[in-house]
Structure formats: C-alpha cells, structure tokens
Amino acid sequence: MSTAATSHYKSNLRDLYFNLFEVLDINNTTLGKGLFESLDEETVRGFLDGLEEFAQRELAPSWAEGDRVDLKFAEDGTVTLPPGLARSVRSFFDGGWHMLEVPEELGGVGAPPTVCWAGFELTVGSNPPVAFYALSAVIAKVIARVGTPEQRELFVGPMLEKGWGATMVLTEPDAGSDVGVGRTKARQIEGDLYEIEGVKRFITNGDFDAVDNIIHLVLARPEGAGPGTKGLSMFIVPKFWVNEDGSLGERNGAFCTNIEHKMGLKGSSTCEMTFGEKIPCRGYLVGGVHNGIRQMFHVIENARMAVGCKSMATLSTAYLNSLEYAKIRVQGADLKNATDKTAPRVTIINHPDVRRMLMLQKSFAEGMRALCLYTASIQDEVELLGGHGDKAAKELDRLNDLLLPLVKGYCSHRSYELLATSLQVFGGSGYCQDYPIEQYIRDQKIDTLYEGTTHIQALDLFFRKVARDQGATLRGLMGRIQGTVADLEANGPAELEVEKLALMRALGDVQGIYGAMMSRLGESIYHVGVQANRILFATAEIVIGWLLIRQGVVARKALTALEEANSTDTKELDFYRGKLAAVRFYCREVLPGLTLARKQVEAGTLELMEVDESAF
C-alpha cells in the first residue's frame, strides 16, 4: 500500500467554516436557539476540528485497505472486514462520533443539520465505507420517531450506546428502482410481531463483523395487502434477537447469502439478504401501523442527501490532491516558450489547460459544498419550526424536498465527470494506484446509481417537486435568486457586475426551460423523459451559481477589510481571492451553458422515440 494511498484525504475545513459561519451565519440563525440552545460556535468548531483530526488519523489510513483486501464471506453468512477497516469502524463508534446528529434527549450532541452534514463530509470524504457502516444513528432516530414506545425502549438505546450496525432493506432481485413490485412477505404472528420471508439484493452493509448486532429496517408486504408501494409495511428485523433487558438472544433468520463483487466501494459489504430460509425470521411492524413507504422515506431522504454529500466530498479531496500534484510536477516549458528547446521546464500549474481543469474542479467542489450546506440550512430552519411535517415548516419542507434531487442527482452525476478531470491533471500517474484518484472514481460511480439514478432524481424533481404544487416551490426558490440580483443592483459590489448579469440571464433561461416543458407536457409525457436530465442539471447549475455569487459578496467584503487593514495574513487573503476567482470562472464558463440548454429544450422533438429498436 503506497504512502499516497494511506494519506489520501485532504479536507477543506476553512471552506466548511466559511459556509457555516460567514455565509450561512449559523451562529446567529441557528446556534443557541430552540433545539440547539446548548451549542455555540466555539463548541461546533471544537467538534469539527476534532472530527477532522480523527478522520485523518483513524479513518483515512484504512481507506485503501478496504479496496485492496477482500471482504471474507463465510457459509454462516458472516462478513469479515479487513482488519484496519474494522478498527476504523469500531473506533468511530467508540469515540462517540455517531452521536453528533443524535438529539440530546437520546443522549447525543443534538447538532443542527448544517453541522451534522459538515461532519459527515469529513467522515465520508476520508473513508466512505465507515460513514455507511455508521448508519445506526439515522435508523435509531427513525425508530425513536415512528416506533412504538416498546420498540423505542428495546432498540434505540442499545443501538446508540453499543454502536450497533443498521441497514435499510428495500431492493429485491426483480424490484430495483420499482420498489412497489417487491415480493418479500410478512405473516402476522401476534400483535406487531411478524414472520418475514423473501430475498433482498444490493443491501449496503447487510452483514459485517465490526459490531455485535445489526438492525435491519425491512420493507415487506403483509398477507392480504394491496399491490404497489402502498401495500408495503416496514419492519424492525434484528440480526440477533434483543431481550427485554437489552442483552442479545438467539440468532434471527436474517442472513447474508452472498456479497457482490463490485467496481468500487469494495470495503462496504453489499449483500444479498435472505429472510426466513434457514430459520424463521421475525420482525416488528414499525409503530404498529402499515405505513411502510412513508416511514422508510425518513431513511431514503437522508440517504439521498448522504450520497450527494459523498460525491461532493470525494470531488473536493480529488481536487486538492490534483492541485498539490500540479504545484510540484515539472513537465514542459511555459507555453509562450514552447518552441525554445532550451527554455526552463515549469510546474504544470503554469500551463493554461491545467489551470482551467483546476479551477473547474475548485468552482464545482466549492459550489456543491455550498449547495449541500444551503440545503442543510433549510433543514435547520425546519427543525427550529417544529420538525419535518410540522405545519409551520410546510413551505421550507417543500423547498428542502426540491433541493434534494439537486444534491443527490446533480452532485453525483457531475462529480463523476469532474473526477476524470482530476485524473487528467495527474496524467498517466493518475491511472495508477500510486495516487488515490483511480479509486475515487471507482468508489464514487455508484453514487449516480443507488438511492435513485440520475434520471429518477430528474423525474422526481419535475413531477413530484415542481409540477405537483404547480411550480409554487420552484417560483419561491427563483424568487430568492431574484432577490440576490436585486441586492447586487442596489448595493454592488461593482466587481461582481459581470456575475450579476450572468445570473440574470441564467434565471431567464431556467424559467424559459420550465415554461417550454410545461407547454409540451400536454402533447406527450415523453418530452419530460427526453429532457428531464437537462432540466435537473440546469436547475442545479443556476442554484450553485447563485450560491457562489452570494459567497462572492461575502468574500469581497472580507477581502476589502483585510486589504484596508494592510493584513499580512496571506492564507486568508489567498482564500478570499480564490473565492472570487471561482465565482468569476463559474459565471463565465458554466452559466452561459444554460442558454444552450434552453434552446435544446425549446427545440426538442420526440424523434428519438420513433426510432425502431432494430436501428439502435
């Protein structure tokens, strides 16, 4: 294992803090208020500083091992992790890092979503499998929220205190994205106790040996239930039965019967799970009510946000790795001296195309981080207004729902493309395991596929998040963007004039895209099918552009203050100048593409759907 692989992770705490405390200003909007009354900026910085140090010391070193040392699958269904990876998982739980997002009443830190997702970036960026093996906090919160008092007593405390594993179990061999055709059965034994039979596939961390127990949340169809997703119920299915005193009892009939051999993310055990084949499998009906898909969406939405943040975190560390390489790799003469064979060789960061590739990565990595944390800030507001589903938070709930396909669908899709750019900076060296980029690409590709493919996210955005409320939530978001344009017109700064104009034009283009599609929807739904990805990308790109420009305003003010004070803090000066450079690049290189996207949507036809299958 190379040194480059073991020390792969490059965090960006400075940008995390810029988002949290300078742009989103959570110190005044969130910390010290309501649920988050006991937290302040010093506490949050201390926690994130500690997590970053822990991620570098304990998580990053086992990342490559998880890729290069095979998981061991035994006949009894046990999956054994590589030793270093298992230690990382255990140390994460032993250090209590999973308690950051757990409410105070359950013994946790009770941090707001902005802080939790910032912490998640540090974990998932340094070692994605560890971040996923630590799903128990999410599952425990769901059980605490929708389970019966008895279920909360039996599972929530032990899951958190003992660091158990947890999974979400939806997919079946013949029911992938179409969850509603699932055939796993549930037969009532008595009360909320059921017997589960069936086979599930692609279950992340269905079994692993770093924990004493694993709690599965399983979708199954009770006897007599109707078809589709509405007929599905959710069940708590432990690997080992839990006794009333919290001790572990007999083995339950939920077994891993195969593990997938994958392109990447190999340290995360992706399992086929068989229920009720070897021995009976029992599970509790969650909350004692048949409301499975709605209950599971608490986990699904968290997973979609997590996938988008994972992609962003991977792109960020890939960019910083390629930046470091570009500053030390000497190759070729300066382009303006290219014909002079005696000209001195220069580091590749001096070559125009390498600079273009670096700034492309920088602007998107920081823009995607802005998108993820802005979405998290909406979740902060929801929590302060009473939580998800509260009437007072209805509009913000809808905005969060609209932003999730952007976070998951766009960040995962665009990051995969940009990781290839990271590798390109390294040249042939990037194709080798001496550097982490090739593993980043393999580990990240799954993000465009699971928890809803890119196109499923695009359809979800258009039909469930925009069309369902006649565009009201989208108009509200566009109104926020228009508000920034108005502020720029009234208050400057003049340095962002070109960026303001680019945002104004992009706003008109995105509105035109939706207008064109709405007018064509009556002609054929296929128009949406053909154009949905383009609509998703355009929506995400204007939101990212808007958020970057907001950052540019903050950066310009901070930079001016430093310059007027004759500051010699070069790191801070360079940070803010880099922010302005990224905003400028994005607005000149990315936002103009929305004009082309609008023309493509407006000129779109259904000729593709008329091509005979034999012609493909």
Task: Indicate whether 1 pLDDT > 60.
Answer: no
Percent of the chain with pLDDT over 90: 95
Quote the CA–CA distance of 337 and 207 in Å, as a whole number.
Answer: 59
Token pair for 134: 């630590």
Task: Indicate whether 592 pLDDT > 60.
Answer: yes
Architecture of the domain whose range is 163-290: Beta Barrel (2.40)
Question: How many Cβ atoms sit within 10 Å of the Cβ of residue 46?
Answer: 11
Q: What is the rounded average pLDDT for all residues in the chain?
A: 96
Q: What's the rounded mean pLDDT across residues 432-457?
A: 97
Architecture of the domain whose range is 470-608: Up-down Bundle (1.20)
Quote the CA–CA distance of 85 and 298 in Å, as a whole number.
Answer: 28
Residue 84, CA atoms < 13 Å, CB-side half-sphere: 18
DSSP assignment of 488-504 equals: HHHH--GGGHHHHHHHH
pLDDT at 4: 42
Q: Where in the chain is the domain with CATH 1.20.120?
A: 470-608
Q: What's the rounded mean pLDDT across residues 542-563?
A: 98
- Residues 203-226: tens digit of each pLDDT: 999 999 999 999 999 999 999 999
- Given a contact cutoff of 8 angstroms between Cβ atoms, the answer to whether 580 and 555 are in contact is yes
- Given a contact cutoff of 8 angstroms between Cβ atoms, the answer to whether 259 and 271 are in contact is yes
pLDDT at 483: 97
Task: Indicate whether 508 pLDDT > 70.
Answer: yes
pLDDT at 5: 46
Token pair for 405: 């396909």
- Residues 34-74: tens digit of each pLDDT: 999 999 999 999 999 999 999 999 999 999 999 999 999 99
C-alpha closest to that of 402 among 477, 350, 508: 477
- Residues 109-128: tens digit of each pLDDT: 999 999 999 999 999 999 99
CATH 1.10.540.10 fits 3-143, yes or no: yes
**Is the C-alpha dihedral spanning 427, 435, 133, 51 positive or negative?**
negative
C-alpha closest to that of 195 among 286, 283, 292: 283
Question: How many Cβ atoms sit within 10 Å of the Cβ of residue 434?
Answer: 14
**Which range is least confidently modeled, 24-33, 307-316, 514-523?**
514-523
Q: What's the rounded mean pLDDT across residues 316-323?
A: 98
pLDDT at 246: 85
Q: What's the rounded mean pLDDT across residues 560-580?
A: 98
What is the pairing mode between strands 214-222 and 165-169?
Answer: parallel
Q: Where in the chain is the domain with CATH 2.40.110.10?
A: 163-290
C-alpha closest to that of 20 among 41, 43, 38: 41
Q: Which residues contact 3 (CB under 8 A, 6 or more apart)?
A: none
Q: Which residue has the tokens 């001496």?
A: 434
Q: Which residues are catalytic?
A: 451
pLDDT at 2: 40
Q: Which residue has the tokens 């000149």?
A: 588
Task: Indicate whether 403 pLDDT > 80.
Answer: yes
User: In which band, very low, low, confident or very high, does the pLDDT at 6 lie, cut at 50, 70 and 90?
Assistant: low
- Residues 367-377: tens digit of each pLDDT: 999 999 999 99
Amino acid at 373: L
C-alpha closest to that of 235 among 273, 297, 291: 291
Task: Indicate whether 255 pLDDT > 70.
Answer: yes
Quote the CA–CA distance of 457 and 510 in Å, as a whole number.
Answer: 18
Q: What's the rounded mean pLDDT across residues 129-147?
A: 97
DSSP state for residue 291 in the 8-state scheme: -
Task: Indicate whether 257 pLDDT > 90.
Answer: yes
Task: Indicate whether 187 pLDDT > 80.
Answer: yes
User: In which band, very low, low, confident or very high, does the pLDDT at 178 lie, cut at 50, 70 and 90?
Assistant: confident
DSSP assignment of 69-102 equals: S--EE-TTS-EEPPHHHHHHHHHHHHTTGGGTTS
Rounded (5°) CA angle 426-431-436: 75
pLDDT at 427: 97
pLDDT at 180: 87
Alpha carbon of residue 162 to chain centroid: 26
